[in-house]
Amino acid sequence: MWDPFRDLDRLLNRMPFATGSNFFGTSARGSWVPAMDLIEKDDSYKILADLPGMSRGDVSVDIEGQQLCIGGNRKSLLSDDEHKNVVLAERGTGRFERCVQLPTRIEEDSVKASLRDSVLTVEVKKVKGSTTSRSGTSVKIN
């Protein structure tokens, strides 16, 4: 289903001054931000993201060109009564999107994602040679 705000969010993610992008080409939007590692191998990239308390249905992985975005919505585990009596709240909840600009082009068809023990693992192969870029791909999380 088409969501006009998703396109706007992606546009804003490309503007460093609007989203807090840093030198490494990462950006984050939302009420909390998952910790992420990016590992470069000879022929691929591996991305690890901590997503405690989240299930596959709460998370999305999207690729557009060289940009990989992980998004989702982490729900609160507190009841309405518990929310009224919170003394300390450090566990973030709500919507988030975390994007990283990969240094080289990637094979969108090669992307594999899995969520195990609260860690999302995304693996993607680098493009060998030159090919045209696609408009975008959503990845199924196993």
d(CA 106, CA 1): 25
Q: What single-letter DSSP state applies at residue 91?
A: S
User: Residue 110 and residue 44: Cα distance in Å, rounded?
Assistant: 10
Highest-confidence segment of 2-6, 7-11, 20-24, 74-78: 74-78
What was the pLDDT predicted at 58? 93
What is the separation of C-alpha 125 from the centre of its chain, rounded to a whole number of angstroms? 17
Domain extent at residue 36: 4-139
pLDDT score, position 30: 60
- Mean pLDDT, the chain, rounded, equals 81
Output the pLDDT for position 141.
Answer: 81
CA atoms within 13 A on the CB side of 28: 11
- Does the pLDDT value for residue 131 go beyond 70? no
| Mean pLDDT (whole number) for 70-77 | 90
Residue bearing the bigger pLDDT, 79 or 46: 46
Q: What is the mean pLDDT of residues 110-129?
A: 94
Q: Structurally, how many domains does the chain consist of?
A: 1
Question: Looking at residues 45-71, what average pLDDT do you find?
Answer: 93
The CATH number that applies at residue 34 is: 2.60.40.790
